[in-house]
Amino acid sequence: MGRILDVVAPPRLGTPFRWNLASSWVAQLGDGIALAAGPLLVASQTDDPRLIAAAAMVQQVPTLVLGLYAGAIADRVDRKRLVLAANVLRVLVLGLLVGTIVTGTISIGLLLLALLAVGTAEIFADTGWRAVLPSIVQPADLGVASARQMSGYLVANQMVGPAVGASLFAIGHAVPFGVQATAGLLAAALFARVAVPAVVRPDGREPQHVGRDILDGLRWIRHHAPVRTLILVILVFNITWGAPWGVLVYWAQRRLGVDEVGFGLLTTAAAVGGVLAVVGYDRLERRVPLGRLMKVCLVLEVLMHLVLALTTVPLVAYAVMVVFGAYAFVWGSLSNAVRQRATPQDLQGRVGSVYWLGLTLGLIAGQAVGGVLADRFGAAAPFWFAFAGAGLTLLLVWRQLDHIAHADEHS
pLDDT digits (tens, 9 = 90+) for 284-312: 888 889 899 999 999 999 999 999 999 99
Q: Which long-range contacts (CB under 8 A, 24 or more apart) does 90-96 make?
A: 90/118, 90/121, 90/122, 90/125, 90/184, 91/181, 91/184, 91/185, 91/188, 93/117, 93/118, 93/121, 94/118, 94/177, 94/178, 94/180, 94/181, 94/184, 95/181
CA distance 270 to 155: 11
| Phi, psi angle pair for 382, to nearest 5° | -60, -30
pLDDT at 407: 76
Contact 274, 325 (CB under 8 A): yes
CB contact set of 404 (below 8 Å; sequence gap of 6+): 226, 227, 229, 230, 233, 291, 294, 338, 397
Helix (H, G, I), strand (E, B) or coil at 259: coil
> What confidence score (pLDDT) does residue 13 get?
83
CA-nearest of 358, 347, 129, 342 to 219 is: 347
Looking at residue 393, its pLDDT comes to 95
Residues 227, 230, 234, 236, CA torsion sign: positive
Would you state the pLDDT for residue 7? 64
Q: Which of 335, 222, 320, 310 is nearest to 273 (CA)?
A: 320
Residues with Cβ within 8 Å of residue 318, at least 6 apart in sequence: 265, 266, 269
In the three-class reduction of DSSP (H, G, I as helix; E, B as strand; rest coil), residue 205 is classed as coil
Burial-class residue 39 by CB neighbours within 10 Å (0-12, 13-18, 19+): middle
Burial class (CB within 10 angstroms; exposed 0-12, middle 13-18, buried 19+) of 223: exposed
CA 140/CA 405 separation, integer angstroms: 13
User: What is the tens place of the pLDDT at every residue in 331-361?
Assistant: 988 999 999 999 998 899 999 999 999 988 9
Instruction: Give pLDDT, residue 207.
Output: 62
How many whole angstroms separate alpha carbon 320 and alpha carbon 303? 9
Q: Tell me whether residue 286 is exposed, middle or buried, using C-beta atoms within 10 angstroms of its C-beta: 0 to 12, 13 to 18, 19 or more.
A: exposed
pLDDT at 202: 63
Q: Which domains does the chain have, with CATH numbers?
A: 2-191 (1.20.1250.20), 210-410 (1.20.1250.20)
C-alpha 250: how far from chain center? 23
CA 315/CA 26 separation, integer angstroms: 34
In order of 147, 231, 232, 287, 370, the CA distances from 266 in angstroms are: 22, 28, 28, 30, 18
Burial 2-18 (b: 16+ CB within 10 A, else e): eeeeeebbbeebbebbb
Spatial contact of 192 and 363, defined as CB atoms under 8 Å apart: no
159 contacts 124 by C-beta, under 8 angstroms: no
Taking 70 as the pLDDT cut, the residues of the chain under it are 1-8, 49, 53, 56, 200-208, 409-411
Sign of CA dihedral 312, 318, 324, 325: positive
Question: Residue 233: its pLDDT value, please?
Answer: 93
